[in-house]
Structure 1
Amino acid sequence: MDDILKAIRNDHHQFDQGKLEEHFGDEPFKLLSRWLREAIEKPATEPNAMIVSTIGLDGFPRSRVVYWKELLEEGIVFYTNYLSDKGKAIEANPKVHALLYWPEMERQISISGFAEKVPTEMSDAYFESRPRGSKLGAWASHQSELLVSREELEARVAAFSEQFPESVPRPEHWGGYIIKPVNVEFWQGRASRLHDRIVFNLKPDHSWELYRKNP
């Protein structure tokens, strides 16, 4: 164990994959779209994985990995169970944070914003695209609640499979959230830990302030 810890401590990453140019535009979405596309094309490992953090009902922050599924003009979209811990947290406090990280590209995107439910027709369309097993899982899983046994969960899946022998409708408790950003930071690793940090911050007049941060 000590040898492993020593190896990690002495692993000095060079950060030499790129830099951020000086022309960023007047809003964050074009750069966000480009980085998402480049992560998919590289390909990065799990390019659509996103860590979403909320403030739980107990007052503690809580993070989990979800998949972003769409980027719209006003924000980034993910889908979940509205009755889950994160759904309840968002209902009580819609301020959220999202983090995307691609180690192969030495890039991070940090997004602070407000989460709100997407229109029902949008959730319907995405749910319809999911595999049958995932659709049944959305009905069977009482997400974040105590589960007595695996058999209990599998029994519910079997019961809903019988209830919906053909098409599986979207349950009302399942759907999408869009995170509408108020602050977006683009982080590009650079040599000697002198990383590029470019921030877009939404101003009261809904224009974006652009600035750099020290690494």
Structure 2
Amino acid sequence: MALHSASVNSKLIFAPAGKESHGQAEQFTRGILTRSDLDQTSPIWQFHKWFAAAQRSELVAHPETCCLSTASLPSGRVSSRMVYLKELDAEGFVIYSNFGTSKKAQDLSTNPWASLTFWWEELERQIRVEGRASRLTREESQKYFDTRVRGSRIGAWSSRQSQVLKPIQGDAGDEEDDGRRVLDGWVKETEKRFEGEENIPVPDFWGGLRIIPESVEFWQGRQSRLHDRFIYEKKAPTEESVQEWTLERLSP
């Protein structure tokens, strides 16, 4: 017997608008974006400007939150996950993660291209970054690793990220385990390993990943979905190794 009576062609969700189950989506009215508003030399500096504005606004709870997308070759299958931007420098955007057993590690081993997407709904702004990814050195990763709370450093050592956790059959009367006990056991092993130590080394399989941008798009919502979009695209370096960018408006 079917779990529900919906037909194959019925829509379980159709044109939701915020809290309404169906309705017209809200208009974007909080700003405009013109070429003169943008840094004319580099998207890195323009991102820094927008990021600082998001922080000062106190409207965006975590402006560092972004979606990291990778794609595996030869299948071309794309996977995405939410991560935190932890550093911005003249070269690019840095996030930290497990690069041993994770899906992102598998994807990047076959395809170095990746993207980051930032969405600041309260400001009606979006930024898309596309570029090549490269690992930071162990020394660079250690500097950030040392800033993490002890529990997060223990967790980085303990987790075999994305590995399937199989349940362990407990004693009679115990609640059924769904696999969490395996993870808890790994954490206990790591805590014992580093007991009494505050200076915990960064794991070889964990560290920083820098997305070196080839293109960066800045998006400002506008009424009637006629959004303002500008894209920076990297030009070939000059003989003096000075990096230059083109800047163009895109149709919404």
1:111 and 1:8 mapped to 2: Cα distance?
32
Please, which of 37, 48, 53 is the counterpart of residue 33 of structure 1?
48
State the SS of the aligned residue for 2:131.
strand
Q: How far is the alpha carbon of 1:15 from its aligned partner?
A: 0.7
Structure 1 distance, partners of 2:233, 2:42, is 9
User: C-alpha distance in 2, partners of 1:119/1:37?
Assistant: 27
Residue in 1 that maps onto 2:176: none
Equivalent residue pairs, number: 215
Q: Distance in 2 between matches of 1:60 and 1:181?
A: 21
Deviation at 1:46, TM superposition (A): 2.1
Shift in Å at residue 71 of structure 1? 0.7
Partner of 2:185: 155
Higher helix share: 1
Aligned partners of 2:157, 2:13: CA distance in 1, in Å? 46
Pick from 75, 78, 83 the counterpart of residue 66 of structure 1.
83
Partner of 1:13: 26
Please say if residues 15 and 23 of structure 2, whose CA atoms lie closer than 8 Å, have aligned partners that are also in contact: no
Corresponding residue for residue 52 of structure 1 = 68
Matches of 1:4 and 1:29, distance apart in 2: 36
Taking a change above 3 Å as real, the CA distance of residues 38 and 8 of structure 1, as seen in their structure-2 partners, is farther
Structure showing greater Rg? 2
Matching residue of 2:249 = 212
Deviations 1:91-139 (A, max 9, x none): 2211001100000000000011001011221100100110111111111
1:48 maps to a residue whose letter is: E
Q: What is the RMSD computed on CA atoms of the aligned residues?
A: 1.8
Cα deviation for residue 89 of structure 1 reads 1.2
The separation in 2 between residues aligned to 1:60 and 1:2, in whole angstroms, is 25
CA drift of 1:13 comes to 1.3
- Change in Cα spacing, 1:9 to 1:80, as seen in structure 2 (3 Å) is same
What is the deviation of 1:59? 3.0
Out of 129, 135, 139, which is 2:157 matched to?
139
Identical pairs, percent: 38
Deviation at 1:45, TM superposition (A): 2.9
